[in-house]
Homo-oligomer: A and B are copies of this chain.
Amino acid sequence: MARYHSFDCPIARILNTFGDHWTWLIVREAFYGKTRFTEFQRSIGIAKNLLSERLAHLIDEGIFEREDVGNRGTRYAYRLTEKGRTLLPILIAMYQWGNTHVFGDGKEPVLLVDRKSKRPLETIVPRDQEGNVLSLSEVAAAPGPKASKETKAKLAQSVLSVDRGV
């Protein structure tokens, strides 16, 4: 499982945990309110041994926590931690991409909505710190405070952009 391609990259790091599709489905079910081992198992159709291993890994990573819900230590609830809950924007972006590009406008089986108004969310887009919407080509990758020499070199010749010529 652990691979750690290019250690400096947040994407590579996140894929160390989430490069597996079962893991995303478990997280999705948690957002849908599932908490119990058997609920996860049945709703996503995963084998018990795999679910057990994935949940243990997610707990190690601080994404889930396991709570004993009584019955003399025979009932447990798996809940997203704060760290796990902040995965929601990623899930939302995936939902919206899937709705637009897999199902298409007007053919969505599931929509994400504002709980109060029941109207669909705005499509997630990048913004600057003033809240202004940025086009995709206005987004760039830059070395951060802890960039290694290799990362700086790599970023110097890259663009994180989409509209450059050959």
Given contacts A25-B11, A161-B33, contact A129 B139 (CB under 8 A): no
Given contacts A15-B24, A160-B112, contact A166 B35 (CB under 8 A): yes
**Identical copies in the complex:** 2
| Cβ-defined contact, A88 with B143, below 8 A | no
Given contacts A32-B141, A103-B10, contact A122 B131 (CB under 8 A): yes
- What's the Cα separation between A96 and B129 when bound, in Å? 14
Given contacts A85-B136, A112-B160, contact A14 B121 (CB under 8 A): no
Which B residue sits closest to A128, measured CB to CB? B114
Chain A contact residues, CB within 8 Å of chain B: 3, 5-6, 8-15, 19-21, 24-25, 28, 31-35, 44-45, 69, 77, 80, 83, 85-103, 106-129, 131, 134, 136-148, 151, 154-155, 157-162, 164, 166
| Cβ-defined contact, A159 with B110, below 8 A | no
- What's the Cα separation between A32 and B77 when bound, in Å? 41
Q: Which of B5, B94, B136, B148 contacts A109 (CB 8 A)?
A: B148
Which B residue sits closest to A136, measured CB to CB? B88
| Cβ-defined contact, B111 with A13, below 8 A | no
| Cβ-defined contact, A127 with B121, below 8 A | yes
